[in-house]
A and B are shown apart, each in its own frame.
Chain A
Amino acid sequence: MATFKTISYLGGFLALGYGALKFTELNEDKLKKELLEFSEPVTEAEKKRKLMMEVLKNAAANKKTMENYPTSQQPLIRVNKESDNCITMSQQQLAAFLSELNLLELKVNDLLSGENVNTNVASEVLQNLTRFVSENAPSLPAYELRRAHGEIMKFKTKILEIEEKTRRQGKFKFTRTNKERPQVPSQPIECLEGKISSSTARPSVFLDGLLPTLTNLTNETITINSKESSNKDIWLNNLEKSTVIINGIPSALHMTNLRDCKIIGGPVLTSVFLEDCLHSTFVVGCQQMRIHKSKECDFYLHIGSRIIVEDCFACRFAPYNREYSEKAEEFNRASLELSTNHWDCVDDFNWLSVEQSPNWSILPIDERIQLFPRFTGFNLITSIYPEYIV
């Protein structure tokens, strides 16, 4: 009887042990699967983005060795095969890199000083320089990298300054030319066989097209009401120390040559396009945003896609934080979801590297302006931020 008991106990233990073993195995499989899924890029878009970044980098590398650096037939940096993870530069390679860098820096400097300053060529060379540094960034000593960034910054500021100076000399100017424009009758669009329904009745007031909505103003505060803005392209040009409040939903927003301005708006139906802006603040919602040649600007954005930045410097980003009564309704009408905001997804086309671009940053929370919900529209800004109206 006793032997039978011990045998049955033994059997029981064995069964239990086997069960436990199986259980852990199962868990392990599941865990592995999960890990595998996790390491893959999450979305299609992300996959594509990664791929594209690689393609661009390769293309840039080819271009570099083929055209700009004929002296160095081979890439300057080689991956050290013995230690797979560690990419280092030998002393020689570093010296080669530094001399190349020096050459490029001298070239930019030459282009920017002296009598015939050519900012176009200079910024092109600078772009090559930036590319060169960012490609080699992973294997550079921290000190050299910082120094190179510092130099790039200096050149950028200089180029922007020179460009601004030449602009100030009145080389580049927009004026209202309503009268000069020929009054073309609302002519049907040239087409092969198709019919266009929307073009048949085009009110004559719109014939002036995309001429600046506001231009050449200093020290002004202007409110564009929803009637003036809705379904139209708005173009703000050559404003200084001014505040523009846009109510309603424009179809697109273009902003060029703004200095020390504040632009506050709700959602824009499609895209926002910004060029040559300096030291300004923008509060706006949109699907696409392109920022070109701008410096020291702050953005409070609600955006449906990634932000494109090109030739910019010291731009800072924060989430859209303006509250007003029709906000939800307006964003809904502009097909912008309030729950998805990519305000911090910035693609700097002058910085093809995985590291943070030196040209933009996230606006520190304590420096963000706060727009309180109990005020709406215009009141909100004047009452909370007296300094907002310059």
Chain B
Amino acid sequence: MTEANSDIAEYSLRLGDDALILAQRLCEWCADAPLLEEDIAIANVGLDYIGRARMFLQYAGELTGSSEDELAYLRDSAEFRNLLMVELPRGDFAFSMVRQYLLDEYESLFFAGLKQSKDANLAGIAEKTLKEVHYHLRRSREWMRRLALGTEESHRRSQDAIDELWGYVAEFFESDEVEERLVGLGIAVERRDLEQAWRASVGELAAKTGLMVPDDDLRQTGGRSGVHTEHLGHLLAEMQFVQRSYPGLKW
């Protein structure tokens, strides 16, 4: 495999892992949402993420000779490449919704960039994904307003969630050698360039809803190089249980 192909496989794997791990967290809301309409909406978003995970993992698998299921079910924690934020436990409804919002703002910028990728497969997945992200962002912005402006309790829970999640934002905009090489080829998105626009959007919503943007002291990173939180191992233990207990079978 050429260096470029190996980089593209790694890149696709990272984006697949982001989607897969968040999908798993969304699945945890099944039959547990605050109202039936949200059970349906969360499942909708979850289905988009599973679909996205499959496309990216299939592409990574094509380049490396693995199946999507081998990649999802037979790698251990250190081999996962997702952003740390998506693996955090789902928390209360405010935590899940604020996380979704922060990611939606990021993804709307990221996939608009990836749509321009010189790699036709990545550009194609990005184009499909971007349409979904726009719908996700409309929904999560609306929820942010409801929660931040609703009641004292919903405001407090939203602020707590932002405070808790903010330490994982730095990783959105952190690059490494693999991505730099792909940026040079016009294949990957230069994520550092997204930060200003992201901060402007989030800052504007925070200002309108009376939420305080936390300071940037805490910078938890490591997901892209396989150094994760303690939470990921538990998530994988659950997700991979059947494949690990009965290796090599068809399901």
A-B complex is real:
no
Residues of A within 8 A of B (CB): none
